[in-house]
Structure formats: C-alpha cells, structure tokens
Amino acid sequence: MKVVELFAGVGGFRLGLEAADDDFETVWANQWEPSKKAQHAYDCYKNNFNKGVINNKDIAEAWREVPDHDLLVGGFPCQDYSVARTLSGERGIQGKKGVLFWQIMNIVEFRKPSYILLENVDRLLKSPSKQRGRDFSVMLASLRDEGYFVEWRVINAADYGFAQKRRRVFIFAYHESTLFAQHIKKEEFMNILHNKGFFINQFPVENEHNPRHPDQTLTLPDDLVEISDNISFSYKNSGVMIGNEVYTAELVPRIEPPITLGEILKRADNLQGEVDEKYYLRKDNVNKKGRSDFEEMAYQKGPKKEKRVSRTGHEYYYTEGGMAFPENLNAPSRTMLTSEGTKNRSSHVVKDLNTGRVRFLTPLECELLNGFPPDWTNGVMPEKSRYFCMGNALVVGLIERMGREIIRLRREEKQVGYVRQMALF
C-alpha cells in the first residue's frame, strides 16, 4: 500500500504504519521547517528512513511532485481556513495564503488517494472562537467536493492504554469509489459510530453518549463561501459526513488501563542508566528573583493569587491553580509540550527512581512517552530540538492501531476485486 506522508516531523505516522503491517510503503514524504536554516526534523527523518523520496521543500512548491499513492497522511497546523470568492470569479474559490490545508487539498484533487488520515489539535473542531465550527465545516466540505466521506474522532491516548494524556482529533476520509464507502453509505449514522465505522474496532466506546452534549445533525450547503461566511456549529468529539449530511456525537471511550509515568521511567532507567546531573533541579543555582532552580519550579507549579499591574497601570489579580510537584508516577503523564525540559510551568518534573532527587524528563523518556524507539532523535539535533520535536509529535501506537484498520479495508477491497475479476471467466 503506497503512502505519502506530509508535515512528517520525525516520522511518527510512518513508524506507526510500518509497525502495523509490512505492506505499508512510504513512497514520498515531505518535511520542511519554514524560515529555518537548520532542518533538524528532516535530518532525523532522513537518518532513520532510507526508502522512498524524502522531500525538504516548501509543500506549496513541491505538491506537484507527489506520486500516485493509496493513503495520504499528515499532521497539519490548525490555521484560519476561511475562504472567499475571487474578484474575477474565474478561479472560483480561494483560501487564505499560507494555509497548509489547501496544499493537502491540491494533492487530493491531483492524485485522489483512496484513503486520507489526518491529525490535528482537538480545538480545530471549535475554531474560530467567534464562529465555532466554521473551519472544520470548510474542511469537511472541501473533502466532500472531491468525492470523500469522512469520519472523525477525538482520542486521548491515555484512554486507550498509552502513557500520555494527549488529546488529538483524527480525521479519516475515504473516497466514495471505495468498497468501504459503498458499505458505509447504507448504514445509519449511529450504527457507523458504534459498529461499522473506521475507529470503533481499535477504539471502542460505551453504548451511551455523553448526556450533557446531545447528538446533532447538519446539512452542509453546497457553496463553500456560504459555509465560510455563515456556518456556526457545535461539533462533538466524534462524527460522520456522507455527502452533505453530517452527524456528530459525544462518545464516551471504553477506558483501557494506561501505562504509568513511573513505568516509563523504569523502562528508561534500563536503557540510559544513571541520569546526567544537568537534568536535576539544583538548590544552589539562584536566579535574579532569588529563587533556586527547585524553588523556581515549585513556584511555577504552585497555586497563585498575585496582584499585578498592566501596562496601562490597571491593577488586577492573577490567579492560577496548582499542579503536582513532582509528577504523579502512578498515572499517565500530562500532555508534553514543545517547552519540555525548561523552567516552565508545563514541563514535567519527576522524582528520580534511583536518587530520589527531583529532575526534568530526559529526551529519551520523552521519546518513550510518545512511543518512539529510544534515542530516535539523538545525534542529529541539539537537545532543545529533541524536546521540541517530541512536544510536536503524536503517539505512535495510535497510528499503529489505525494502520491495522486501513490494511484490513485495503485487503477486503482487493479480495472483492479479485472475486469479481474471477467471475468474469
């Protein structure tokens, strides 16, 4: 099965798919960081994968180089997807410049892959704040216009047995000519989400929906500009689009026991041995505010109610709830961010299993939390970039599960095609 991977980062999609089945073959991948001379993620991808074309150009210029493929995958930025009609009217509809989703749609229109699997932050479903659901509606309608049905699901990795509370929306689109589409269009929406859809086998849910968020339906207008200008809709964590019809529901995951942060530290301990002194919070290193590293992180993590003064001279109280310090090792980790490993409120601070002292996570531990092989990013980029890449990466095991479903669909498609061909003889 030929795969094209866009916005590839350090290769999380590819790792997951190849772990699912040997039949996945990534024939073309693109990773390019704009306005940066150093291309660390690309270097990492190139270092770990040696098959297929690995492209390091602006996708706005390189999309025409994409070869024929069966599956298009990628995690793309959450941007402003509003559209407008061109002044001349000759080119129809145009989106804002620089929005990478339109480059995805260029490839979709150009190559028409059978399947598309995309990943994004879950706030995509609610953006922009002044017109909830507009951006996702534009995306759905754009895929509809190219002949695709769509199913989506917001998945928290920790709900399905993984070691990190990382919530992302996954969007699976399949062309109306596929066998899967022919089956799905005959089903009721509820039955798709609970029995026949793409996600249900690998990510089971409870029978009852979240009662605080009633199911909703929407008929998308034919005109993309009308959708962009007028649609406001409350998308739930799951849903289906077939033609113009959209159904969305707040599904409740059937929880699987997660891997804990403590288990990840134990795995890392067997791999990395004694943790370097530079990761520990020192009590003798004092900053300009008179706080040691330890005291600074305790302050960052602690609850706050402080009187502050704005630039205009207005006095106000800044309040903030407290966070665990150090982290709870008997639960999955919080979501990793790109600032991991710095003296920042969001950074994980753990009690070392051997020394009992408090420290940051190591880059290797961050890799394990996302399901990457140990030292996947080592040797090809500075340590700060290793943290950054893991803060941007997805949980590989989620893609592995989805890969199993895609291969199952593809093999069913081929089997039916073979039977039909044999019937002609």
Task: Give the pLDDT of residue 424.
Answer: 46
Residues of the chain with CATH 3.40.50.150: 2-256+398-423
Query: 95 Cβ partners below 8 Å, 6+ apart?
Result: 81, 82, 83, 101, 102, 138
Provide the angle, in degrees to the nearest 10, between the axes of the packed helices 134-145 and 101-111: 10
Query: In degrees to the nearest 10, what's the CA dihedral of 246, 202, 363, 41?
Result: -50
- Token pair listed for 267: 């795995």
Percent of the chain with pLDDT over 90: 84
For residues 406 and 116, give the distance between their C-alpha atoms in angstroms, rounded to a whole number. Answer: 10
- Token pair listed for 102: 């339109």
Its CATH architecture, for the domain 261-392, is Alpha-Beta Complex (3.90)
The residues assigned a catalytic role are: 78
79-117 pLDDT, tens digit per residue, is 888 888 776 554 556 777 668 999 999 999 999 999 999
166-200 pLDDT, tens digit per residue, is 999 999 999 999 999 999 999 999 999 999 999 99
What's phi and psi for 94, nearest 5 deg?
-130, 150
Residues of the chain with CATH 3.90.120: 261-392
Task: Give the pLDDT of residue 348.
Answer: 98
pLDDT band at 230 (very low <50, low <70, confident <90, very high): very high
Predicted confidence (pLDDT) at residue 418 exceeds the cutoff of 60: no
- Token pair listed for 92: 């129809």
Q: Which amino acid is at 261?
A: L
- Token pair listed for 97: 């410049």
Element (H, E) at 35: none
Query: 171 Cβ partners below 8 Å, 6+ apart?
Result: 116, 117, 118, 119, 120, 139, 150, 151, 152
Task: Give the pLDDT of residue 425.
Answer: 44
For residues 84 and 92, give the distance between their C-alpha atoms in angstroms, rounded to a whole number. Answer: 9
Lowest mean pLDDT among 32-36, 213-217, 374-378: 32-36
pLDDT band at 288 (very low <50, low <70, confident <90, very high): confident
Q: Compute the mean pLDDT over every residue in the chain, rounded to the nearest whole number.
A: 94
The CATH code belonging to domain 2-256+398-423 is 3.40.50.150
Q: What average pLDDT score do residues 244-266 get?
A: 98
Model pTM greater than 0.75? Answer: yes
